[in-house]
Amino acid sequence: MANKEKTPPKKPAINPYWFYGSIVLFFLGMSFFGDGNSLGEDQKINISTFERYLNDGEVSRVVVINKNTAQVTLTEEALAETKHKKAKSSDFLGRTNDAGPHYQFEVGNLELFQKKLEAAEANGVAFSYEFKTVESRWLDVLIGFLPLILIIAVWLFIMRRMSGGGAGGGGAQIFNIGKSKAKLFDEKADVKITFKDVAGLEGAKEEVQEIVDFLKNPTKYTVLGGKIPKGALLVGPPGTGKTLLAKAVAGEAKVPFFSLSGSDFVEMFVGVGASRVRDLFKQAKDKSPAIIFIDEIDAIGRARGKNNITGSNDERENTLNQLLTEMDGFGTNTNVIVIAATNRADVLDKALMRAGRFDRQIYVDLPDLKERKEIFKVHLKPLKSDPKLDIDFLAKQTPGFSGADIANVCNESALIAARKNKKSVGRQDFLDAVDRIVGGLEKKSKIITPEEKKTIAFHEAGHATVSWMLEHAAPLVKVTIVPRGQSLGAAWYLPEERQIVRTEQMLDEMCATLGGRAAEDIIFNKISTGALSDLVKVTQQARAMVTIYGLNDKIGNITYYEANGNEYGFTKPYSEETAKLIDTEISAIVEKEYKRAVQLLKKHKNKLTKLAEHLLEKEVIFKDDLERIFGKRPFEKEEVKEAEPVEKPKTTTRKRAAAKPKAEDSTKAKSDN
């Protein structure tokens, strides 16, 4: 903080447009003052002197300008005489006026002057004369310099485009191309967000609040010998509130806050990224103590040396090297804290992650039940919601939702209520919003044949029946055969929030997923392409059991999981024999669960048929309908009953897609976990 006193006075910035204007004025002045057509006082004569030169045959041409000024051009022989020495004028660049005109004078009476010229011509004097009307010399000057002006304009335009900015940007001119594009947070102009606006994220907020408190009250920590942390890295899935947390830091901290994106360092010119890093830290140091926030740091912070051509000059690596040096090198910037955010921490360079650079790695996870409740409270404030709205119910219906998803649910519910001309947003609007976001928009006008509709009904009834009969399958909430988005039918489930998953739980989920195809096989003795999304899901789950989680007896307690997120290259970490065994075990797991689903449905075929017929009649059925047909689930937990929806909750959906594989794949719900 002592650096603040030693800060040198800021030099006034030089506008480059003054430079361009000076060049233009120089050329215009040179044209006007240095042009050979501009005659000085020495070249002015009277009309009698002109008549003498004319009668002596020394004049080759006379031009009368605007009826009042005559310009005289001498012959080459006359210019060689000493008396006409001053006629050969020169500009300030040393160019002589050989072509003329050499003299000028006032004409006076134009009629009389014209008669004198005609008389001289009649007497055999060899010369020419003409009359001109010139409106403005500046127009001629501008026309003469038009190509030069156009070249300068095109050059300025190209430089502005290549430097990546318009007017006002840090790199708007070629002279500022190496300057930082960081935006300084303005408390007056920018919307101020505080920690009160950030719901949930208690652990992350505590870490970040400590950094802000350190900058506000440094002596509280330095008196004990503590040092200010160099940086904090916010890591987590998209939409969990990393950038929002940084905005809250900007609103809370009473210190300069520089905000920019990782892509702002990237430029087509070599060395620009490193130059912008240097300029950014220089600005921050001048205003220290200060905070720098780099969003999406993985744009420049990727691990070095991978996929790099030998001997190439990687601009991104140069930028990263400069960032590493600025954060913790010989020229370490004191009292400058760097906060960065990314959802790809696995691809970042190890040197960036070490202590002394990003001292703290704060994981911003998806919100749990309590945090979702707090997030709902924040986003419900601007809404005109029903006073009887149960926030606990909404939080329980949205497992796996991020903060951004919940914000979208609240906004969508308000739009739905407005569409229905309601005066407040009610519970049903929120449930419809969840359905809309997860499943897509209802398409009741979509043409489906009666045979296809019957197939879809039995498919969805198969999912519902198997999940109802299995202990660890997610409890069903709603089944519909109304087309929604690109799917022809869907089933909503409310999965239990688990931190760990056991083998029997995964197997039950796989069995319930295969219940749709098993129902088609039992009822119609045929199978269709509509189960593609189900097959994709169970194949991924089976592969994860075998190759990642070590839940297969034959493979054993071995994992082939790549922690850095990189896919296998040309070589796999296991032999060909192991690869065959993996494929065999994956197939065995899937087929075993399929057979289990078939057995369950054969055992309860009558109830399956009754449920499908009821679904064909009503198109949408809920948990109450299943209880009337199957009875209560014997293994249902009490806490689930409290969140039991009466009509339409959400969350994990299994969709039956259309026959096209491409459309099927695109209907995969985000909560299909």
Just list the catalytic residues.
460
Q: How far apart are CA 205 and CA 195, in angstroms?
A: 7
Q: Residue 363 pairs with which residues in a beta bridge?
A: 235
Nearest alpha carbon to residue 440 among 260, 232, 667, 231 = 667
Residue 425 zone, left/alpha/beta (φ > 0; ψ -120 to 50; rest)? beta
Residue 668 zone, left/alpha/beta (φ > 0; ψ -120 to 50; rest)? beta
Q: How far apart are CA 362 and CA 208, in angstroms?
A: 9
Tell me if 61 sits within 8 A of 127, measured CB to CB.
yes
In one-letter notation, the amino acid at residue 432 is: D
Tell me if 515 sits within 8 A of 602, measured CB to CB.
no
Tell me if 359 sits within 8 A of 229, measured CB to CB.
yes
Reading the block at residue 583, the tokens are 């494929």
Q: Residue 492 pairs with which residues in a beta bridge?
A: 478, 653
Q: How far apart are CA 634 and CA 52, in angstroms?
A: 131
For residue 425, the 8-state DSSP code is B
- The DSSP code sequence of 43-62 is GB--HHHHHHHHHTT-EEEE
Residue 201 zone, left/alpha/beta (φ > 0; ψ -120 to 50; rest)? left
Q: How far apart are CA 281 and CA 100, in angstroms?
A: 62
Q: How far apart are CA 422 and CA 440, in angstroms?
A: 22
Count CA atoms within 13 Å of residue 24 on its CB side. Answer: 14
Please give, one letter per residue, the 3-state secondary structure of 98-140. CCCCCEEEECCCHHHHHHHHHHHHHCCCCCEEEEECCCCHHHH
- Looking up tokens 């931190």 gives 499
Nearest alpha carbon to residue 664 among 519, 468, 516, 550 = 516
Q: Residue 425 pairs with which residues in a beta bridge?
A: 385
Tell me if 612 sits within 8 A of 481, measured CB to CB.
no
Q: Residue 232 pairs with which residues in a beta bridge?
A: 339, 360
Q: How far apart are CA 357 and CA 351, in angstroms?
A: 8
Q: Residue 622 pairs with which residues in a beta bridge?
A: 478
Q: How far apart are CA 104 and CA 93, in angstroms?
A: 22
Measure CA 434 to chain center.
26
Q: How far apart are CA 491 and CA 460, in angstroms?
A: 7
